[in-house]
Amino acid sequence: MAIGTQVWLNGKILPLESAKVSLLTHGLHYGTGVFEGIRTYKQKAGGGAVFRLREHMERMVDSLKILDLKCPYSLDELCRGAIEVTKANRFEECYIRPLGYIADGPLGVYPGENPPVSIAIMNWEWGKYLGDEGVNKGARLMTSSYIRPHVNSVMNKGKITGQYVTGVIAKKEAVRLGFDEAIMLDPDGYVAEGTGENIFIIKRGKVKTTPLTAILGGITRRTVMEHLEKQGSPVHEIRFTRDELWCADEVFMCGTAAEITPIREVDNRVIADGRPGPLTKKLMREYADMVRGTVPEYGREWLTPIR
Ligand code: PMP
């Protein structure tokens, strides 16, 4: 994994090794940070482009709002910063990680009314998040023993750093037990999401995904829904149970890092014949085309050239 040697920190491009953070950073003590995960892709027509950059930055500003923090930069400045640092690192196909956090100053849990907020943007090259085998043959999931916390305990609509602790321990549990990813249930016992992915199931041609209630509103989830709707196949946002997952004809997960990853097994139950299903494979191909700029109707709207 190649890591970009340059970062964008509070409006300036700096070498990674000189972009240091104080031990007194509030975000480090209390998890009061927010982040995004964005991918850029080499375009068929040449050069690189960022997929749905503005939507990611909008969600980052929303995450700050959920933490009652003001973003010190405008949306345009954040988008420009992401492009500048990607150019500085000379990447065409990479991952972009914007990170915002309460910087040093306040030391107690109460951060004060206008705490200092720092924004950093980093890059690295990232392969298939759930592994090449996961993408080619389908990944294996386990229902986690950890649940997505109640909506009044964790603000699921924000990508807030401290909230990822449950995901970290759920992912470790799954990997230790030999699975690729954990699927977490909501406090009522319905399927919620993976530690970094949303989930879809297909049964008798009907596509279902979990309602937004207890999950992060994934931008890839939205992309899949908008795309299927355009093709006349609307997605039903409805709660479903883990046994519906086991008995589905197809299951796939999606996220910026995971893109569209077929699921071949859940809790040691093989999904259908254990191979990626036809709709999943079609969506994987179409997603790969749209992010590389070969679907004209999505090009201008969703792809920001790196220049
Ligand atoms: N759920 C969680 C908990 C995530 O961290 C992510 C990754 N951002 C997703 C879903 C998928 O979101 P997106 O498609 O915007 O990457």
250-294 pLDDT, tens digit each:
999 999 999 999 999 999 999 999 999 999 999 999 999 999 999
- Please tell me the residue having the least CA distance from ligand 1 atom 13: 218
pLDDT recorded at residue 36: 98
CATH domain 131-291 topology: D-amino Acid Aminotransferase; Chain A, domain 2 (3.20.10)
Alpha-carbon span 165 to 167, nearest angstrom: 5
Percent share of the chain, pLDDT over 90: 94
Residue 300 pLDDT level (bands cut at 50, 70, 90): confident
Tell me the domain boundaries of the chain: 6-124, 131-291
* SS3 readout for 165-229: HHHHHHHHHHHHCCCCEEEEECCCCCEEEECCCEEEEEECCEEEECCHHHCCCCHHHHHHHHHHH
For ligand 1, the distance from its centroid to the CA atom of residue 255, given in whole angstroms, is 5
DSSP line for 26-45: HHHHH--EEE--EEEEE-TT
Considering only CA atoms, which residue is closest to atom 5 of ligand 1? Answer: 196
* 206 tagged catalytic: no
Q: Is 278 exposed, middle or buried (0-12, 13-18, 19+ CB in 10 A)?
A: exposed
Q: How far is the CA of 39 from the centre of ligand 1 (A)?
A: 12
What pLDDT sits at residue 301? 86
Alpha helices in the chain, H assignment, sequence order: 26-30, 53-66, 75-88, 131-137, 165-176, 219-230, 242-246, 278-291, 296-302
| Residue 197 pLDDT | 98
> Ligand 1 centre from 105 Cα, in Å?
30
Domain at 6-124: CATH architecture: 2-Layer Sandwich (3.30)
Provide the whole-model pTM: 0.97
Q: Whose CA is nearest to atom 7 of ligand 1?
A: 196
The single residue of 159, 172, 208, 282 carrying the catalytic annotation is: 159
